[in-house]
Each structure stands twice: as structure tokens, then as C-alpha cells.
Amino acid sequence: MVTLPAAARAEPKPRCSVTARARGDQLFATAAPGERWLLIEHGGPWPRRAFEASPELLRIAERATSAGFRAVLIRRPGRARPAADRAYALVDARPGREGVWWGTFTDERELLDVPLEPTGVASPEPVQLVCAHGRHDTCCAVEGRPVAAALDAARPGSTWECSHVGGDRFSANLVLLPHGLYYGTLDPGTALAVAEAYRAGRLVPQYLRGRSAFPPAVQAAQHYARLATGDDRIDALRPLGAQTLDDGTVRVRLDGATITVRAGWSAPAMLTCAADRPQPARIFEQVALSTPGR
């Protein structure tokens, strides 16, 4: 039996969420875009690219994207097998239009003809999506599944595990719909606190990545405005307009503040578990801030 010297033994690769927390990666202004969403129940397994699970799902995703929707696969926590009638939902996350409309289907091909304009009465129940797409990134499964289980135990029926939503290194990631609020670096306890704050119309800025309906510069401006004003209401600090001043600098007018932010880049790092080389991530700094009375 040949024993390799210690220097030759492969060290386990650290998970991206662990190294990102150690670096203190900037969390805010990292919510991926999504003004409208199409959620599709699929029992899995999910391949690395979730919609490659079937040719029909690929066509559905293409249809959704061309109509301005973000398509995501969902399943119940614990990998429970779906019923014969599977669920789908249309979600509008645009400010003032927020809503979730549910339907059912038995064959994926039906979704190729389902109208992508919601009808009827929106569901009053929020939707809690927890990324648990382990084949896309190990951290999503390791960090996400315990969070999904805790949320489901607290309010059965409101939580779904979902396919990739972006920001693997911020696992566990939670998306709260219909507002499209992205939260990251959660554990079961903090996830429960975030979910209850949402139902009370409040944000938890410490873990908030941003709102999917807003571009990154607006997400950053809202973050800095919340720090300055202490206002944690979901609908506060509404965007009124944005002006690009020069390369990377944007002045954002909010209802209650005007913030100028500048985009830059972090030092290169391994941003996902599957990364083969370090890459920089976009970050934002505050350049100027004014609020009424200042």
C-alpha cells in the first residue's frame, strides 16, 4: 500500500458560501432580475441546468423568457413526490402590481399554451422560495434544505425548494414573492425572522440582497438610504428615477432620499463551488446622500 506524503494529499475544496462569509462579500445589490416569474412544480431530479430535465421544459423556459418572465422549477421540501396535478404560478413582482396566481397541469406540454397574463383573484398567501439546487452548487443544497424545512414546518404549504436563483455564495438564499425580495446568508433561525417580518410588511436589511424588480444601482441606493433613515418598510423609499452621471456612477431619486452610488469591482475570488478561476464581483459604494431636512 502506497501512502502519499501529506503535501500530495488533496485538500477538500472550501465551499463558496463559507469563503464568501469569511471575506465579508458585499451582500446588498445582488438580487438577480425578475419583474415577473413563472414557477413550475417538478419533482426532480434537477440536472445542473434545471430546465434541461425535459425538452418540454426547455421550450417552456424559452417561451417564458421571451414574454419577460423568469422561469424557476419548484418542489416541496423533503423531495416529496408531486401529485398527478402539479402546480404552477404566475407572479408579478412589479411595484404596485404584486400578486401570485396559481394553476395546475398534468402534462408539461400544457404550459406551452397557458396564457401568461394572470386572470382571476390573486392568492393572499406569500410564496417562500429557497434555492436548494445542489447539482448547480453544493452550497445551495447544504445551506438551503435546512432553511426550507424550517420555514415549511412553521407555515406548511408556503415554502418551496427551487432551482437556481443566483448568488450561490450567499446560500442559503430565500426569495419572497410576490415582492421579489432576495435574502442571503440565512440559517433556519434568521430565515424564520425574515419570513415573519415580510408578513408584517417589514424588511431585515442585514440579510437583504435587494428586490428583483429593481436594477442593482437602485438596490444599492435603497440599501444606503435605509441605513441613513432607519426605514425598514417594504414599500418605503420608492424609486422615482435614476440618472447616469458617468461610467459606473448613478444618482437615484427615491421617495424620501437622493443617493449617488458608484459601481466597482471586488478583488477576484472563487465565487461559486464550481468556479475554475477567481473572478471579481460587482460592488457599490455611496458617493452622496441627501434626505429632506438635510
Q: What are 126's three cell numbers?
A: 406569500
Nearest Cα to Cα of residue 198 among 129, 255, 257? 129
Q: What string of pLDDT tens digits covers the 294 residues of the chain?
A: 556 555 445 556 788 888 889 999 999 999 999 999 999 999 777 878 878 888 999 999 999 999 999 999 999 998 667 777 899 999 999 999 999 999 999 999 999 999 999 888 899 999 999 999 777 778 888 899 999 999 999 999 999 999 999 899 998 999 999 999 999 999 999 999 999 999 999 999 999 999 999 999 999 999 999 999 999 999 999 999 999 998 889 999 999 999 999 999 999 988 888 888 999 999 999 999 988 755
| Domains of the chain (ranges, CATH numbers) | 22-213 (3.40.30.10)
Query: Residue 91 carries which side chain, given as an amino acid letter?
Result: V
Q: In this structure, are residues 16 and 168 in contact, taking their beta carbons and an 8 Å threshold?
A: yes
Amino acid 141: pLDDT: 87
Estimate the crossing angle of helix 138-154 against helix 188-199, to 10 degrees: 50
- Supply the pTM of this predicted model: 0.92
CB atoms within 10 A of CB 3: 7
SS3 content of the chain, % helix, strand, coil (to 5): 30, 30, 45
Residue 111 has which C-alpha cell? 404550459
pLDDT value at position 103? 94
Give the C-alpha separation, 30 to 167, whole Å. 7
